[in-house]
Structure 1
Amino acid sequence: MDGWTGHVMKKTSRKTTTTSFTISMQAEAMPLVQTLQLTEEDEPSVFPKAVPWKKYSGTHEGLSVHVVVPGKDFNLGVDSVGTVPVSMLTYASIVSLHPDLIINAGTAGGFQSKGAAIGDVFVATQFANHDRRIPVPVFDEYGIGTLGATPIPNLVKALALKEGKMSTGNSLDMTPEDEEIIKANDATIKDMEGAAVAYVADLFTVPLIALKAVTDIVDGSKPTVEEFLENMSTAAAALSAMVPRVLKYVSGKKIADL
């Protein structure tokens, strides 16, 4: 039995009324929050008091929309990026908000050899990891953790979105070992959270769409950090322009019809 049979199909055959966006960085989230005119949650929070997570909520195109971010690290004051914070946040969001659809929106590195350019918005067709190296039979496959994405061919066609496989790791840079596995994953885009969100969504059989705007060209000539910082606002703007179109399309539709 694959991931699109049985009780999973029940979730794809009901209309979409609630969406939850999981976004890692505040700078990625705020342009979207402003575009959708969402407001930050007042007390009491649906999340535990001990965590820095934030939630912005409202309605758009007849949908109940939530944007959740891991917030700032208490000790260092930087965004809580990486797979651990985002997997915890995704779990808590599913339990608390009961979304019909999760959208992991954010930025990513792209491979120009696969057709990626700065500002392109991609839909992930597959998720895998490239920094969980476990050279033991079967555990090696578990480490890669390949998961298929929710099929959305009609949405992709209607909005002329680019598609590509995603590879996730906890580092912004890329070691030779990472590069080898990323190539084996046949990835077009490289990020720091997508596969973790996909893992939790798969556990709870919640449909997931990953929208990633390209900030840097991984196989280009510019240093990754320099290009990432230079193009963050461009990528965030591209996401903010695309997301309302995505929400308009999915509103009231069954996931199976996307």
Structure 2
Amino acid sequence: MAPPEDSVANPPPEAEEAAAAGEANTKPISTILIVMAMHTEAAPLVSKFKLVEDPDRSMFPKGVPWVRYRGKYKDLDINLVWPGKDPNFGVDSVGTVSASLVTYASIQAFNPDLVIDAGTAGGFRAKGASVGDVYLASAVAFHDRRIPIPVFDLYGIGAKQTFSCPNILKELNLKVGNLSTGDSLDMSPHDETAILANEATLKDMEGAAVAYVADLLSVPAIFVKAVTDIVDGEKPTAEEFLQNLVLVTAALDQAVTQVVDFISGKCISDL
């Protein structure tokens, strides 16, 4: 029996969404959004991809310090954004609030096919991490959103599997591990308990926030993280982070370049 004419002419929203998703998965990736938290992390990639800072900030709300670099690399339109310097304190606007806001605004403005959250992270020696290792996160979660009420507790943790990229992992020499996100550089006993529960190899201050926004707006996202410090090591986290930041950023730059080179000319389903 043939479907009613009205259903053919006006397919239900679910069918339209499924068709759009299928088309997106099989067309070559053309626009990517790279989200980074710190200028030190972003600068090598800006140079590598020959990106230029966009003086036109009309795509962002008036007064925000967010910075966009743009350019063409191979067959990809690249938008690299970072939240800029805090206007009151003059430091990089790190953390989940800035990351989620700039990710939301950038997805709305640039309509990327793929989001890459690239940055540094702490790593756990007990999970096999060493300074300079670069990971592709397999799952993300928060460790400092404690809401001890049924269901709200799961919402607070916000655990998500990341977009699966078996071919990237097969091609590139990246490690795999879970990423846990919180708004503090140090680790309280409460945070440590939650991070262990998240089975995390990595600890950062942005990843799960970027994942939340990308998932909300139905854009695939991958997370490339380079280890600057060993959270369960002997050195103070802040000291080790600052000591290794520039050196580890070079490893991050190389890994992100390899990922972007792999993406060029491929579809989402090829990743």
TM range (shorter): over 0.9
- Give the aligned CA root-mean-square deviation in angstroms: 1.4
Task: Confirm or deny that 1:89 pairs with 2:102.
Answer: yes
Give the aligned residue type for 1:150.
F
Q: Is the 8 A contact 1:25 1:79 kept in 2?
A: yes
Establish whether residue 72 from structure 1 lines up as the match of residue 69 from structure 2. Answer: no
Residue 7 of structure 1 deviates from its aligned partner by: 5.5
Query: In the alignment, which residue of structure 2 is the partner of 1:33?
Result: 46
Counterparts of 2:186 and 2:252, CA distance in 1:
23
Q: 1:60 is matched with which residue?
A: 73
Q: Which amino acid aligns with 2:143?
A: H
Q: Which runs of 5+ in 2 are unaligned?
A: 1-17
Structure 1 distance, partners of 2:118, 2:57, is 26
SS at match of 1:166: strand
Tell me the distance in 2 between the aligned counterparts of 1:61 and 1:246.
Answer: 13
Structure-1-length-normalised TM-score: 0.95
Aligned to 1:171: 184
**Corresponding position of 2:219:** 206
* Higher Cα radius of gyration: 2
* Conservation of the 8 A alpha-carbon contact between 1:128 and 1:166: yes
Question: In the alignment, is the contact (CA less than 8 A) between 1:150 and 1:208 conserved in 2?
Answer: yes
Return closer, same or farther for 1:116/1:9 CA change in 2, 3 Å cut-off: farther
Moved over 6 A (4+): none
* Change over 3 Å in CA distance of 1:107–1:57 after alignment to 2: same
Give the match for residue 145 of structure 2.
132
- Assess, with a 3 A threshold, how the Cα gap between structure 1 residues 249 and 142 changes in structure 2: closer, same or farther: same
Query: Which residue pairs with 1:249 in the alignment?
Result: 262
Q: Aligned AA for 1:224?
A: T
Alpha carbons 1:8, 1:205 under 8 Å: kept: no
Identity of aligned pairs, percent?
A: 55
Q: Does 1:217 align with 2:265?
A: no
How many correspondences in the alignment? Answer: 255
**Farther-moved stretch of structure 1 (246-255 vs 219-228):** 246-255
Q: Distance in 2 between matches of 1:225 and 1:202?
A: 31
Matched, 1:145 2:158: yes
Letter of the structure 2 residue corresponding to residue 162 of structure 1: K
**Match of 1:156, SS?**
helix
The amino acid that maps onto 1:213 is A
Moved more, 150-159 or 245-254: 245-254
More displaced 10-residue stretch of structure 1: 177-186 or 240-249: 240-249
Structure 1 CA distance for aligned equivalents of residues 21 and 123 of structure 2: 31
Closer, same or farther in 2 for the Cα pair 1:123/1:44, shift >3 Å? closer
Secondary structure of the equivalent of 1:131?
coil
Normalised to the residue count of structure 2, the TM-score between the two structures is 0.91
CA offsets 1:192-244 (integer angstroms, 9 cap, x no match): 00000000000111010100010000111110000000000011111111222
Change (3 A) 1:23 1:44: closer
SS in 1 for 2:192: helix
